[in-house]
Chains A and B, each alone.
Chain A
Amino acid sequence: MTQPNHSACLKIISPGTLSLLQDAGRFGMTALGLTQGGPLDGHSFAWANALVGNPLHSTVIEHSIGGLIVQATAGCTVAVTGAVLPLRLNGKAVACWQAISLKAGDELELGYMTQGLRAYLAVSGGFAVALQFGSSATVMREGVGGLQQDGSKLAAGDQIPLAGQATLTALTTPSSQIQQFSLPPLASAAALARAEQKQSGASTVLSLRLLEGYQHHLFSTVERARFYLNPYQVSSHCDRMGYKLSGSAISCSSRALLSEGISLGAVQIPPDGQPIVLLNDRQTLGGYPKIGTVLSLDCWRLAQTPPGSLVQFSQLDSYQVHNTLALYRAGFSPAAKAAHPQHAATQEPL
């Protein structure tokens, strides 16, 4: 499908705060205790690939906070999606969420993010990175995946080989609604004022839609009401493993259980009663009671949300969950189908 071109690289001039190679994640390896990994914001990840004509699960750079500078050693096409940030090509401002042509020697700089925490940089044809346990996803805690297959983050001087030109057609720039899909509510006073001018009643509380499951029956009606009715604040304990929230403590009739498998978005209630939403790099097994699981779409939004932000849980039943996911995919798929008929029934976990 792609022509390997081993001399062409994307060179890391500065990795910024944190830059990791990620593909859709590592599946089928939990028997070894290996976690899923993969992009924290699956929406922006998939769009970065779509904009340069890649299969949607291709390896990209997931960049957090800001400061990433890369240089192309050969002509290539890239796209940057996710958080709002100043993007500069050889010092000149260019727009995110579009395909950008780079010539050999061109430098692309991702400045510090003003809304959201994660940005995705995809290159047409993808990066030629060796897979480890079936995936390129970098999991630093496990020492697995990434450029050197040792779980290390990208560092200045790293040269990531390009796989070659994509043969699929790139998608056109998505609507602003799609671009803003996973971004957190605007938090700063200035941003809030701007938002209020645009649309009245803009909320600054991120809604986390949850499917009850696991041990939800161990939480009384009163505790569940407390859980849904009160907002929680994102604490400073938030990373690729999970987001610890702070707010009204929830108590559970059971303190600890036998360790069992944890799914993406599971909301675990430890003895201090403060919920933890478990994300991509979570431990595979855990023994704290879980009230349910946050929808993937809202996990992506949570991962874009900085400490101090407010979130509030709401409950969906399994039918509402399926409808919500189907509607989301319908919004993504028509464009994807038009551009890649051979990928119409895409297998990627979006």
Chain B
Amino acid sequence: MSVILPLPRLRLPAELLPAGADNTVFSTEPNDLVLLELKLAAENAFILYTGAQQIHPRNAATVQQCCALLQPLLGQEIVELLPSYASVLILFNPLQHSHLSLLPLLQQVLLQSSPAKQALSSGKLVELPVWYSAQSGADLLSVAKAKNLTPDEVIQLHSSQNYQVYAIGFAPGFAYLGELPAELAMPRLSSPRPKVPAGAVAIADRQTAVYPAASPGGWHLLGLCPIRMFNPQQQPAMPVAVGDQVRFIPVSEREFQLLGGAL
């Protein structure tokens, strides 16, 4: 599957331009639809917004495209690219560059995209086994009750679609996956649990995730995944990356244990 993106318009930080100057730059192609916006973030950073601030596959594709365009500058002009749902934080080395010196380059790179370069693969598909049960997922029954479903229907809904990896953050290896079916959408717990176990598969709003390590957490727990989401001793340290697809595969307690899981 690939996503064809419309060509971008780019809005530049007004602070860096002469007073009264129009700060929107168009690509030379006719059908601009995506409005990218560069804003100041810090003495060594811009933040690039990729259109309306919402969780949407089109935003994810635009973020991926922008990261791909900026990637060749990484290690040169840019020292860090931090993608999220609808933004990319761009850090540069302030010893070599200023906002003003980097702006023309970013403008050129972000507007250079040709239709061929915009065809993006949607990343790899990663299957993650999950032992769903009341024993391994403390909130499975309460979610089912709140949503007027049986626990099996909850499991069925959660495991019957692919999820997009929108962002990685909060803690090492924590991948934000979306979008959860609307039938399962639940607000976060009113007070977070002091301890969520490592491997916990959890939902909140229209998102789902696997906790990489034991931590406090306010999401609803449905089951346990035996695959380590962050292992510093392994290469790569994470089974997923931003842009990948994830699908949850229900397994039994026995299979969970055989795959290395422990309650």
Contact = CB atoms under 8 A, between A and B. Distances in A.
A349 B84 contact: no
Given A32-B172, A263-B45, A322 B98 contact: yes
A27 B78 CA distance: 11
A161 B170 CA distance: 33
Contacts of A317: 15
Interface residues of B, number: 50
B244 to A, nearest CB: 12
Interface stretch (A15-23, A173-181, A253-261): A253-261
Provide the main secondary structure of the chain B interface.
Answer: loop
A213 interface: yes
Contacts of B168: 31-33
Contacts of A296: 43-44
A261 B95 contact: no
A346 interface: yes
A133 B232 contact: yes
B88 A142 contact: no
Contact of A325 (B45, B94, B213, B237): B94
Interface in B1-57: 13, 15-16, 39-45, 47, 53-55
Interface in A212-266: 212-214, 257-266
Contact of B39 (A213, A264, A265, A347): A213
B41 A213 contact: yes
A318 B15 contact: yes
Provide the main secondary structure of the chain A interface.
Answer: loop
Interface string B193-232: 0000000000000000000010000000000000000101
A59 B100 CA distance: 33
A284 interface: yes
Contacts of A143: 213, 232
A144 B173 CA distance: 12
Contacts of B213: 143
A259 B87 CA distance: 9
B87 A258 contact: yes
B204 to A, nearest CB: 12
- Which 4 pairs, one residue from A and one from B, show the smallest C-beta to C-beta distance? A261-B89, A285-B169, A261-B82, A293-B42
Interface of A: 27-28, 30-34, 132-133, 141-144, 149, 211-214, 257-266, 283-285, 293, 295-296, 317-318, 321-322, 325, 329, 345-347, 349-350
5 contacts: A30-B81, A32-B238, A132-B232, A213-B47, A265-B42
Given A258-B54, A260-B84, A349-B95, 16 more contacts: A30-B169, A31-B241, A32-B172, A33-B169, A33-B174, A142-B171, A144-B232, A213-B42, A258-B84, A258-B85, A260-B86, A260-B89, A261-B41, A318-B13, A318-B40, A322-B43
